[in-house]
Every structure is written in structure tokens, then in C-alpha cells.
């Protein structure tokens, strides 16, 4: 009983940091995935609705695999304006936010924000002794950047060189693939029509195979630009 | 394509159960306890030999702890090997759903630390079994280990094991670096020969995961520069929890069970498994783990503040309390059944899914009782020479006696009644009784054989038909129908309560109106008195049945009075307004719901156990059937043998002919 009294009388600071709770509860290696999603006004209507459906399907697909559900972590940054809509969450906890079309396309700033988020997350992984797979950053846009994207492009190139993450860019509809080509080291892809659902299905399948693989190894991915795929080059 | 087993028996694949990169697993029609794995790609000669070798080595001890191949699967007789048959592993979950706290709280809500220690103990025992048969697991990783709700452990994907068949060694050429021993890191798995000691490293890793809430022993806070992937941490022996961790720039991650919480023997095993080995030294063997973990489990005690917390009795205080408080995570939860709301039932219980599991158990089939035909080639046990001689002598004696009797009859026909008597008396004195005794013995043997056959047939009809299975299935179907109609039944009973309530309210309402006070010109004072003497005081008492008994209410004018009274009651009834606010007695309702909750829980339990029960029943029937079939056939042979033995005494013409020729 003595220790109990001691516990009660001890002062504790307000706002105890329970950030480690999620890792104590689930110490599986993590497979982080940042989605940079364009919600500029040009996405209004059908494209936005399809994107929201795609996100819902993404969660469903990941949940179908019990290990992937514990390993894949999703963060969402929308741009137009730049906003962190979802902080990193495992697929189990992830609730697809309803996205609405807003204003312009500050893509450069969004990329920087997304990479910052990733760095913070990785620091947290290290602090809590959580192994992690190479993160994925997935950019989805239908326009061309309305801000300075050069700095972002440099950051992406540097990260890819250090194998700190893998950056994928996908253009929707009228997107300016030339600029995407300059930002992304990997070849940007163009979404066929509004196949967001197929895109997220592919993404979840890829994340599932990555999360079942060994950290630090390359996983062969299904080519999304195949005739049945969601993308064209 | 026609698939056959190694012994050329046809194998019919049923439902697909799962699919992986290497092959797919199917049910086998008519063999509920087994499944077949069929590879997507044709297997090479080496793999075929390995599978055949494994099937030959399928020892019961292996089958109990592993999905070990028991037979190969061929594409037609002498066709190429396409896969193998193994025991079915059902009701087990991948081990990561046990050691990861978040998943465990859902998948194994009853599991406390004692359960985890026990699972680790069983894991060690499974490893020991594999090693005792001369094999090595090789690719130890959480995907190849599954656990049951009783903490029983099974190893799956056994076709990748490193197998010794006689002189030959079949390698395990795959692996997961995160679970690979330091000395094997960065070496290709192809052509790699593993030892039980390498398995021992994997075993220590998995035990650590189980005891430390899913933490990898080499995943800690790295104080050095850059990132430290697990494979490198393993290669460099950077055990993040051990006493030398700090010297390796490692620290245990926050919110983990302190390594010092382990009693020295178990902690010592981990240290020994994760440090560099000096030549000739080995890592702790499965048996050492088994003994240490068993002892640990015996020494556990429950926390005074939270009975779900189990910890080594040597510790002064509960480490889980401190850990849960610091981390803001609850590591152990009370089994969910306790908090389930009574009528909602088990949230995960899906009657259709459970029913499909029940239906998945195919009936044992209505095989007919075997009626073995009498074997054509039964050789009767010949009579021993002594008896044959005695028989021969007897025949001679009989012939002589008959001859003498006939002669006497011819000489003295007057005494015709005497000679046969004398002959019979002489026969009884002269004949050798051993023959008769043998005859009796053989006759009794035949009767006994026939009785046993009848008994076996009865037993067959009782235990070997599929009737008990069908009966139980029908019983389960009734349970399922009752389960399905639970909600409707509850609704009906609640409505009944409601209706009863309505009736009671009406009764109370009517009891407030006295016949005395009613303005009824047809009813005279004397009538009122009569009514009163018959106990009819209020509108509630006014019913046609009762009124008929009252004098003055039966005939002619009486009918009018009766009608007037009933009309009065009806008018009042129309004025009645049911007050739902008064409602049904909450206690009565709670009682009803409680009874339904119990009924539901009971049904859920029985239905959930149903599949397994049927499978067991079926296995029993098939086993009994096989046993009785064999007994029946053997008994039929015994019977025909006994019959033939007896027939020696009644030789047919053919038999006599044969004997003549022999002699």
C-alpha cells in the first residue's frame, strides 16, 4: 500500500506525452505512406467524388490483410491550401477524411510539408525503437504548381538518392506532366480517366507486399501502366 | 485433371482455402482432417524427392505440431508430383496476432502474461520435436508459426524445412533476415546449410516477442549515427535490452517491460542466445527454454490491484502497473464476454458464418454394411489322426453291430423288438466317445462365431452408420433456426408483455365502475342485489359466462338485462385509453431480456462448438466403421471356417470321393 500512496502524492506534469502508447500497443515495423492530394478548385465535382471513393477503398483493401493493417501508416496532406488532413495513422485507425475542392495548387509547399511530416515520424520511430520500411510519398495532382516548386524538387531528388523514401507522382486529367517529370525522379504516370479506385487498389496491394517484405529490400511492383492498369505513361 | 495420392488413390480437391505465392491450399473431399497444397509451378526432381522423403518420415509427433506432409499429390498415376497432403490446421492464428498487444486484445482477449509464457513454452516444445527427428526449421519467422486459443503452437509451411532423409540433406533455401542468426546475415540463403543452433536463435527471438509485447530484441533506440536497420543490429549483436546494450550504443525503447523483470534463468537464456558465440559454444536449446519457461510460469503471481497482471513472484512490485501508467496503454484486457451487453450477443458471432463452418463438415457418407461373401477357399481343419482312426473304428463297430443285429433278426424274427435295442446298447458301450466330443466342440464354436457375427452387425448398425452424425446435424439445424428466430421471439414476448399490460390496465379501469352506480334503467334494484350476491360488482366482472349463472338474467327479459350490462361494459371499454407511460414493469422486461441473453449465449456456444463436434463425430464414425468392418470381415471368415470344420462330420459325396482318393 505504501507505494500506492507514493504514486498518488507524486506530482505529474500536465499533458503527459502518451505518444509512445501507439508503439507500445503495436510495435510491428511500420511502412509509412504520405499521400499528397490536390484539392484545388479544378478537382471539383466528379474527380473529387472519385478521389474520396478511392480513399475509402484504400482503407478497406489494407484492412483485408491483418499484418498490413498493423504496419502501413497513412498521412494525408492536401494542397489548395496546404493542410495536414491526417497525421500518420495505421490503416486500422485511419478514417478517410471527406475532401472538398478549394483554391489553388501550391504543390511545392505541400511536398515540403509532406517530407517534414515524414522526417518527424521517422524520428519518432527511432525514438521508440520501431523498425520501418522505406516510406512512400505519393503525389496526386490535376494541375501545375502555382508556387515555387524548385526547392521541393531538390528535396525529392536528395531523398531518393539517400533512399530515404520513394516518390511517386501521378497526374490527373490536364496535369502538367513536364513539371512532374522535373520533380519526380521516377517517371510520372497519368491516371486513365478517373480510375482513382484502381489506383488506390494498386497502392494498397503494393503497400501490402512491401509491408510483408524485409525492410530495405526492393519489392517488384505490378506495372500500373499495363493495358488493364490505371495509368498511362 | 485426375489427382492421385502417392498410393495411387484418387484425391478430389474441394474448396480453395488459401493462396500464396508458391501454391494454393484446398480441402480434400471426404478427408476432413487433411488439406492439399498444390504448387503453381511444377516442382523439380529435388523437391519431389524431398516431399516423398518428408511423407515417409511423417511421425505422429511431427503431425501433432506441424502441417507436415503425409503424402504427395500426383497428376495421375506415375504423373509428376504437384503438391502434397498435410493435416489441416484450423482454429489457429498467426503468432503476431498474439504477441502484438493491440491485435491480441481482439484475437486472444483472455491471454495474460502467463498465457504468453505458456505459448513460448509450447513453441520451444515444437522446436524440440522437429530437432529430435533430425530436421531443422531453417526459415523461422512469425509467418510460419500459428497459435490456438489454448496456446498450442503449430508450425506451418513445412515444405521449406531443412530435411534429412537417410543420407540425403534437403536444404531450406529461404529466410527472413530479421529472424536470421548474426553469423548468417548477408549470406545468401541459396545453398546454406543450417544447424539446430540457427533455429535456436529464431526461437529466442520469437520467445522475446511473446514475453515483451511484440518487441524485437534488436530494435531499440540507437545512439549512434544514422539509421540502424534490424539486420545490421543483429549482425553486430546489438541486443537492445541486455546488460551490454549501452556499450553497443543501444537502449531499450520506452514503454517496454524492463529486462530486469525477468528472473535470472530466463534472462540468462536471452543473453546467451544474443551474444557472440565462442567456438564450441551453443545457443540455448529448445529443451532449456522449455524448462526455464515452465518454471517461470509456476513462479508467476497476480497483481493485487489488477488480477489481469501476472508477473514473476521474485519482483517486489507489479511491473505492468508501472508500465501501463507510464505508457498510457492497457496491455491486458478482461475477456470481452464479461462486458458484452446481454441482448446484443457476441459482437463477432455471425450465425451464417458459423453455420457455413458447420456445413463444411461433410457427412461421413452412408456406406452399406459389408456382407463379406463366404470365402471360397476355406480348408476345413481336418480331424487329427487319432480321431480319424477312432471314427474309422466306430464305423467298423457300427457295421459289425448292424450286421449282427440283422443276422439275429433273421434267426429269431420273433424277438424283432429286442435286437435293435441290444445293438443300440452295444453301440453305446463300444463306440469311442472322443469323436462325439470333437463334434460337439466344433458345433459350439460355430454357434459362438455366429453369435459374434450377429453382435458385430448390431454394433455396426448402432455406431458405423452416419445416423448419429445426421441426428446431431439436425439438432444443430434446430439450434440455428432457434438462433435466427431469437430476435423475433423476443419481440413477440415483449409484445405479449405489452398486451398483458394492456389487459391489466383495462382491468383496473373497469374495476373503477360499479354496477350500483351505473345509470341502467333496465336493471332493477332486485337485479342489482342478485348481481351483488354473485360477486358482480364492477364492470370488470361483467362477462356473458358469469351473467348466465345469475337468476333473472337467463330467460327472455333477462336477455335484455344481460345485453344492457354488456353494452355498458363495451361503452366503458371504448372510453378506456391505454397509457403506455405506465408501461410494462421494467423488472419483468429486464428479466425477459436476461433470459433471452442466456439462451442466446447458450446457442452461440453450442453452434460455435458444432463444427468441431461434428468433425469429431465424423472421425469417430469413420474410425469405428473401419474397425467394425475389419472385425466383420474377420468374423465372417471365422464363421465360414467353423462351418467348414463342422462339415467334416457330414461329408458330402464330393468330400467322400476326395477322401477315398487320398487314402
pLDDT in tens, B126-157: 999 999 999 999 999 888 999 998 899 999 98
pLDDT at A215: 56
pLDDT at B288: 95
**Banded model confidence at residue B653, pLDDT cuts 50, 70, 90:** low
Q: What are the catalytic residues of B?
A: 139
**Banded model confidence at residue B448, pLDDT cuts 50, 70, 90:** very high
Q: Which residue of A has its CA nearest to B225?
A: A126
Average pLDDT in chain B? 85
* Domains assigned to chain A: 29-133+142-163+196-212 (3.40.50)
Q: How far is A173 from chain B (nearest CA, A)?
A: 36
Query: Which of A7, A27, A70 has the CB atom closest to B215's CB atom?
Result: A27
CA B536, CA A10: separation in Å to the nearest integer? 77
ipTM reported for the complex surpasses 0.90: no
- Say if residue B95's pLDDT is above 60: yes
Cβ of B328 under 8 Å from any chain A Cβ? yes
pLDDT digits 0-9 by tens, B551-606: 777 777 778 888 888 888 888 888 888 776 666 667 777 778 888 888 888 888 88
Q: Which residue of B has its CA nearest to A127?
A: B221
**Banded model confidence at residue B335, pLDDT cuts 50, 70, 90:** low
- Say if residue B334's pLDDT is above 50: yes
Give, in degrees to the nearest 5, the angle at Cα B631 between B627 and B633: 120
- Under 8 Å CB-to-CB from B375, ≥6 apart: which residues? B637, B640
- Which of chain A's residues have a Cβ under 8 Å away from the Cβ of B252? 129
Residues A49-72 have a mean pLDDT of 84
- Say if residue A13's pLDDT is above 60: no
Residues in chain A whose Cβ is within 8 Å of chain B: 3-4, 7, 16, 18, 20-21, 23-29, 66-67, 70, 92, 126-131, 212, 214-216
**Banded model confidence at residue A5, pLDDT cuts 50, 70, 90:** very low
Q: Which residue of B has its CA nearest to A128?
A: B253
**Banded model confidence at residue B383, pLDDT cuts 50, 70, 90:** confident
pLDDT at B493: 86
pLDDT at B114: 93
C-alpha grid cell, residue B513: 365502475
**Banded model confidence at residue A90, pLDDT cuts 50, 70, 90:** confident
Interface A-B: count of C-beta contacts within 8 A: 93
Neighbours of A40 (CB within 10 A): 21
Higher pLDDT, A7 or A83: A83
Q: Which residue of B has its CA nearest to A4?
A: B305
- Long-range CB contacts (< 8 A, 24+ apart) of B197-200? B197/B282, B197/B283, B198/B136, B198/B138, B199/B127, B199/B130, B199/B131, B199/B136, B199/B137, B199/B138, B199/B140, B199/B286, B200/B127, B200/B273, B200/B282, B200/B283, B200/B284, B200/B285, B200/B286
pLDDT digits 0-9 by tens, B420-433: 888 888 888 888 88
- Say if residue A38's pLDDT is above 90: no
- Say if residue A1's pLDDT is above 50: no
Cβ of B242 under 8 Å from any chain A Cβ? no
Q: How far is A51 from chain B (nearest CA, A)?
A: 30
pLDDT at B170: 93
B155 and B126 Cβ atoms separated by less than 8 Å: yes
CA B239, CA B262: separation in Å to the nearest integer? 16
Average pLDDT in chain A? 80
* Domains assigned to chain B: 3-87 (3.30.200.20), 93-315 (1.10.510.10), 404-432 (no CATH), 487-586 (no CATH)
Portion of chain B with pLDDT greater than 70, in percent? 94
Query: Which of B102, B230, B231 has the CB atom closest to A26's CB atom?
Result: B102
Higher pLDDT, B76 or B194: B194
B615 and B32 Cβ atoms separated by less than 8 Å: yes
**Residue with C-alpha cell 450465425?**
B351
pLDDT digits 0-9 by tens, B504-523: 888 888 888 888 777 788 88
Q: Which residue of B has its CA nearest to A7?
A: B322
- Which of chain B's residues have a Cβ under 8 Å away from the Cβ of A129? 215, 219-221, 240, 252-253, 256
pLDDT digits 0-9 by tens, B250-286: 999 988 999 999 999 999 999 999 999 888 889 999 9
CA B415, CA B64: separation in Å to the nearest integer? 87
pLDDT at B195: 93
- Say if residue A6's pLDDT is above 60: no
Q: Which of B214, B316, B321, B330 to mutate to test the interface with A (most CBs of A within 10 A)?
A: B214
Q: Which of A20, A24, A215 to mutate to test the interface with B (most CBs of B within 10 A)?
A: A24
Q: How far is B104 from chain A (nearest CA, A)?
A: 10
- Say if residue B66's pLDDT is above 90: yes
Amino acid at each position: 500500500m505504501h507505494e500506492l500512496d507514493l504514486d498518488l502524492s507524486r506530482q505529474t506534469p500536465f499533458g503527459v506525452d502518451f505518444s509512445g502508447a501507439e508503439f507500445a500497443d503495436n510495435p510491428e515495423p511500420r511502412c509509412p505512406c504520405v499521400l499528397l492530394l490536390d484539392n484545388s478548385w479544378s478537382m471539383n465535382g466528379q474527380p473529387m467524388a472519385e478521389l474520396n471513393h478511392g480513399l475509402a477503398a484504400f482503407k478497406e483493401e489494407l484492412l483485408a490483410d491483418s499484418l498490413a493493417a498493423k504496419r502501413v501508416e497513412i498521412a494525408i496532406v492536401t494542397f489548395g491550401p496546404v493542410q495536414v488532413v491526417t497525421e500518420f495513422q495505421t490503416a486500422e485507425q485511419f478514417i478517410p477524411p471527406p475532401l472538398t475542392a478549394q483554391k489553388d495548387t501550391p504543390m511545392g509547399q505541400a511536398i515540403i510539408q509532406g517530407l517534414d511530416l515524414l522526417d518527424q515520424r521517422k524520428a519518432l520511430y527511432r525514438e521508440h525503437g520501431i523498425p520501418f520500411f522505406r516510406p512512400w510519398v505519393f503525389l496526386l495532382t490535376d494541375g501545375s504548381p502555382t508556387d515555387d516548386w524548385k526547392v521541393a524538387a531538390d528535396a525529392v531528388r536528395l531523398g531518393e538518392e539517400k533512399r530515404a523514401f520513394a516518390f511517386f507522382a501521378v497526374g490527373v486529367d490536364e496535369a502538367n506532366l513536364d513539371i512532374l517529370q522535373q520533380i519526380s525522379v521516377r517517371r510520372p504516370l497519368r491516371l486513365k480517366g478517373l480510375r482513382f479506385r484502381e489506383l488506390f487498389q494498386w497502392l494498397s496491394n503494393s503497400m501490402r507486399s512491401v509491408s510483408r517484405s524485409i525492410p530495405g529490400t526492393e519489392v517488384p511492383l505490378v506495372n500500373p501502366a499495363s493495358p488493364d492498369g490505371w495509368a498511362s505513361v | 485433371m485426375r489427382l492421385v495420392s502417392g498410393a495411387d488413390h484418387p484425391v478430389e480437391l474441394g474448396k480453395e482455402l488459401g493462396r500464396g505465392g508458391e501454391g494454393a491450399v484446398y480441402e480434400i473431399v471426404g478427408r476432413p482432417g487433411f488439406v492439399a497444397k498444390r504448387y503453381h509451378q511444377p516442382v523439380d526432381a529435388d523437391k519431389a524427392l524431398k516431399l516423398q522423403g518428408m511423407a515417409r518420415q511423417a511421425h505422429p509427433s511431427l503431425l501433432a505440431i506441424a502441417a507436415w506432409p503425409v503424402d504427395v499429390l500426383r497428376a495421375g498415376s506415375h504423373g509428376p508430383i504437384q503438391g502434397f497432403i498435410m493435416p489441416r490446421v484450423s482454429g489457429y492464428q498467426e503468432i503476431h496476432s498474439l504477441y502484438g498487444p493491440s491485435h491480441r486484445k481482439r484475437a486472444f482477449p483472455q491471454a495474460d502474461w502467463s498465457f504468453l509464457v505458456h505459448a513460448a513454452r509450447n513453441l520451444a516444445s515444437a522446436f524440440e520435436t522437429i530437432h529430435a527427428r533430425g530436421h531443422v526449421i531453417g526459415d523461422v519467422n512469425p509467418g510460419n508459426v500459428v497459435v490456438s486459443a489454448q496456446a498450442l503452437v503449430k508450425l506451418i509451411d513445412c515444405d521449406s524445412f531443412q530435411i534429412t532423409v537417410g543420407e540425403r540433406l534437403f536444404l531450406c533455401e529461404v529466410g527472413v533476415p530479421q529472424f536470421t542468426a548474426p553469423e548468417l546475415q548477408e549470406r545468401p540463403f541459396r545453398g546454406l546449410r543450417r544447424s539446430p543452433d540457427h533455429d535456436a536463435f529464431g526461437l529466442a527471438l520469437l520467445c522475446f516477442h511473446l514475453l515483451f509485447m511484440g518487441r524485437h530484441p534488436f530494435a531499440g533506440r540507437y545512439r549512434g549515427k544514422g539509421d540502424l536497420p534490424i539486420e545490421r543490429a543483429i549482425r553486430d549483436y546489438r541486443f537492445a535490452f541486455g546488460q551490454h546494450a549501452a556499450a553497443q550504443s543501444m537502449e531499450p525503447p520506452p514503454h517496454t517491460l524492463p529486462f530486469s523483470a525477468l528472473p535470472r534463468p530466463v534472462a540468462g537464456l536471452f543473453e546467451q542466445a544474443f551474444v557472440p558465440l565462442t567456438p564450441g559454444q551453443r545457443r540455448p536449446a529448445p529443451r532449456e527454454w522449455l524448462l526455464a519457461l515452465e518454471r517461470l510460469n509456476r513462479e508467476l503471481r497476480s497483481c493485487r490491484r489488477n488480477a489481469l497482471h501476472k508477473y514473476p513472484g521474485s519482483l517486489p512490485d507489479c511491473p505492468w502497473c508501472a508500465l501501463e501508467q507510464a505508457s498510457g496503454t492497457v496491455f491486458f484486457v478482461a475477456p470481452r464476454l464479461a462486458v458484452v451487453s446481454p441482448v446484443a450477443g457476441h459482437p463477432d458471432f455471425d450465425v451464417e458464418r458459423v453455420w457455413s463452418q458447420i456445413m463444411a463438415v461433410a457427412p461421413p457418407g452412408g456406406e452399406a454394411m459389408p456382407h463379406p461373401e463366404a470365402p471360397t477357399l476355406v480348408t476345413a481343419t481336418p480331424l487329427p489322426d487319432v480321431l480319424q482312426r477312432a471314427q474309422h473304428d466306430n464305423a467298423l463297430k457300427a457295421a459289425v453291430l448292424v450286421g449282427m443285429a440283422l443276422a439275429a433278426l433273421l434267426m429269431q424274427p420273433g424277438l424283432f423288438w429286442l435286437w435293435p435295442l441290444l445293438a443300440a446298447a452295444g453301440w453305446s458301450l463300444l463306440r469311442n466317445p472322443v469323436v462325439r466330443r470333437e463334434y460337439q466342440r466344433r458345433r459350439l464354436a460355430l454357434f459362438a462365431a455366429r453369435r459374434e457375427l450377429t453382435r458385430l452387425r448390431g454394433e455396426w448398425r448402432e455406431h458405423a452408420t452416419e445416423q448419429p452424425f445426421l441426428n446431431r446435424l439436425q439438432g444443430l439445424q434446430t439450434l440455428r433456426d432457434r438462433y435466427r428466430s431469437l430476435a423475433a421471439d423476443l419481440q413477440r414476448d415483449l409484445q405479449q408483455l405489452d398486451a398483458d399490460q394492456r389487459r391489466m390496465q383495462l382491468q383496473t379501469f373497469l374495476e373503477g365502475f360499479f354496477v350500483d352506480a351505473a345509470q341502467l334503467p333496465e336493471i332493477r334494484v332486485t337485479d342489482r342485489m342478485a348481481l351483488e350476491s354473485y360477486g358482480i360488482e364492477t364492470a370488470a366482472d361483467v362477462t356473458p359466462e358469469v351473467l348466465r349463472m345469475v337468476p333473472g338474467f337467463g330467460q327472455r327479459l333477462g336477455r335484455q338485462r344481460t345485453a344492457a350490462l354488456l353494452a355498458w361494459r363495451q361503452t366503458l371499454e371504448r372510453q378506456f385509453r391505454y397509457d403506455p407511460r405506465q408501461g410494462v414493469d421494467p423488472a419483468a422486461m429486464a428479466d425477459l431480456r436476461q433470459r433471452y441473453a442466456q439462451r442466446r449465449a447458450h446457442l452461440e456456444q453450442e453452434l460455435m462448438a458444432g463444427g468441431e463436434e461434428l468433425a469429431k463425430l465424423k472421425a469417430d464414425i469413420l474410425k469405428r466403421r473401419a474397425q467394425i468392418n475389419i472385425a466383420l470381415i474377420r468374423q465372417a471368415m471365422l464363421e465360414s471356417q467353423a462351418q467348414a470344420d463342422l462339415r467334416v462330420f457330414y461329408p458330402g459325396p464330393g468330400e467322400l470321393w476326395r477322401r477315398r482318393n487320398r487314402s
